[in-house]
């Protein structure tokens, strides 16, 4: 291994990566100016081949999650042994990820909780559609396919005023601001129909 450069701030680390194009960066989380998580995000975005091993003195989950979400390939406390750190550098250089077991458990818990939250949200939104009348549901599906009011009127054999009334009721009952939000909701629920 060869040390190509050292940096005392996130901005310096970003600049050093631009100049030296390292294979692996050891990144501290807390630095003046641009912190290590922001620097990691910038480096992994602009130099995707560069792998980041994040080190911190602080056993705080938000740093671990933030670093990994920013693109880090490894996260360790500074109490890591030199042998373990060298092994981690080689591991991420090969393209694998390394996370301390305690953080891995937290990530799994976080993933399960997030998945459960998403499922609850989708179920709540699906049940929210139950408040729509059958005709309002048809109008909602038509909006989801991108139909204009005139197209909905023609497709569902409704007057333009009736279509407008149904759209207003759909938006009101589902708490939607506009057509874009209706399309997003329909897509999220996987209930869009063929136009």
Reported as a single tens digit per residue, the pLDDT across 130-183 is 888 999 989 998 988 888 899 999 999 999 999 999 999 999 888 888 888 888
| Per-residue confidence band for 62, with pLDDT thresholds at 50, 70 and 90 | low
Judged against a pLDDT cut of 60, whether residue 192 lies above it is answered with no
- Cβ-contact 75, 100 below 8 angstroms: yes
Cβ neighbours, 10 Å, residue 186: 19
- Report the distance separating Cα 146 and Cα 141, nearest Å: 9
CATH 3.40.50.2300 residue window(s) in the chain: 10-107
Give the per-residue pLDDT at 183: 82
What are 89's two structure tokens?
């550098």
**Could you tell me if 35 and 12 are in contact, meaning their C-beta atoms sit under 8 angstroms apart?**
no
**60: pLDDT confidence band, cut at 50, 70 and 90?**
low
Query: What per-residue confidence (pLDDT) applies to 77?
Result: 82
Domain topology for 121-189? Arc Repressor Mutant, subunit A (1.10.10)
Question: Residue 122: pLDDT band by 50, 70, 90 thresholds?
Answer: low
**Class of the CATH domain delimited by 10-107:** alpha beta
Q: What is the mean pLDDT of residues 19-23?
A: 95
Could you give the CA distance from residue 164 to residue 152 in angstroms, rounded to a whole number?
A: 10
Token pair for 118: 């998403």
Least confident of 32-36, 68-72, 105-109, 156-160: 105-109
Q: In this predicted model, which residue has the larger pLDDT, 92 or 67?
A: 92
Give the C-alpha separation, 109 to 111, whole Å: 5
Q: Where in the chain is the domain with CATH 1.10.10.10?
A: 121-189
Question: Could you tell me the pLDDT band of residue 195, with boundaries at 50, 70 and 90?
Answer: very low
Banded model confidence at residue 108, pLDDT cuts 50, 70, 90: low
């Amino acid at each position: 291994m060869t040390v190509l450069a050292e940096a005392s701030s996130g901005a310096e680390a970003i600049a050093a990566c631009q100049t030296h194009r390292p294979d692996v960066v050891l990144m501290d989380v807390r630095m003046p100016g641009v912190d290590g998580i922001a620097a990691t995000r910038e480096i992994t975005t602009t130099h995707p081949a560069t792998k980041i091993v994040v080190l911190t003195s602080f056993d705080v989950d938000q740093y671990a999650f933030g670093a990994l979400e920013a693109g880090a390939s490894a996260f360790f406390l500074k109490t890591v042994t030199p042998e373990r750190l060298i092994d981690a550098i080689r591991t991420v250089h090969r393209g694998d990820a390394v996370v301390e077991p305690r953080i891995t458990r937290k990530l799994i818990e976080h993933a399960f909780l997030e998945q459960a939250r998403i499922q609850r949200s989708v179920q709540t939104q699906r049940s929210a559609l139950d408040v729509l009348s059958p005709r309002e549901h048809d109008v909602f599906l038509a909006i989801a396919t991108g139909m204009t009011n005139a197209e909905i009127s023609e497709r569902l054999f409704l007057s333009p005023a009736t279509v407008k009334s149904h759209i207003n009721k759909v938006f009101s009952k589902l708490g939607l601001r506009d057509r874009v939000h209706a399309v997003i909701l329909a897509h999220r629920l996987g209930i869009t129909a063929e136009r």
